[in-house]
Amino acid sequence: MATDNKTLGGLLKEARELRRLSLREVETQSGISNAYLSQLENDKIKKPSANTLYKLSGLFKIDFDDLMVTAGIVEKKETSTAKNDFAFSSENLTDYEREELIKYLKYLRHQQKDDKP
């Protein structure tokens, strides 16, 4: 997920949903009220504190710098790239998803071998 075209709220909501967490679960794990989280996700709060973003970056496994850039708190570094780590982290996968990804990767690698002259 690239952060360039998403609002901070959209990015946070997508990250929460990918982790299959409710607002109340995030509240319990982060100490940030679910009402505040809801306002963040709906872009009613544009620039939360760095402390709030730090807590959410750890919980959602999102690069803290990317959140700070998306929130407009800091400028994007020229060498910085958007991270997809939280979306593809193996700790997010169920056993079934992990097995299916391995099968698909094997298929792709087999296809690549067949495509070579």
**Fold category of 8-89 in CATH:** 434 Repressor (Amino-terminal Domain) (1.10.260)
The pLDDT score that the predictor gives to residue 46 is 84
Q: What is the pLDDT of residues 11-70, one digit of tens each?
A: 999 999 999 999 999 999 999 999 999 999 999 998 899 999 999 999 999 989 889 999
Residue 76 pLDDT greater than 90, yes or no: no
Which tokens go with 17?
Answer: 């949903």
Asked whether the CA dihedral 86, 89, 95, 97 is positive or negative, the reply is positive
pTM for this predicted structure: 0.61
The pLDDT score that the predictor gives to residue 80 is 41
Residue 73 pLDDT greater than 70, yes or no: yes
Domain ranges of the chain: 8-89
- 40: nearest Cα among 28, 52, 22, 55: 52
- Residue 38: partners with Cβ closer than 8 Å, 6 or more residues away: 23
**Residue at token pair 């998306």:** 70
The pLDDT score that the predictor gives to residue 81 is 46
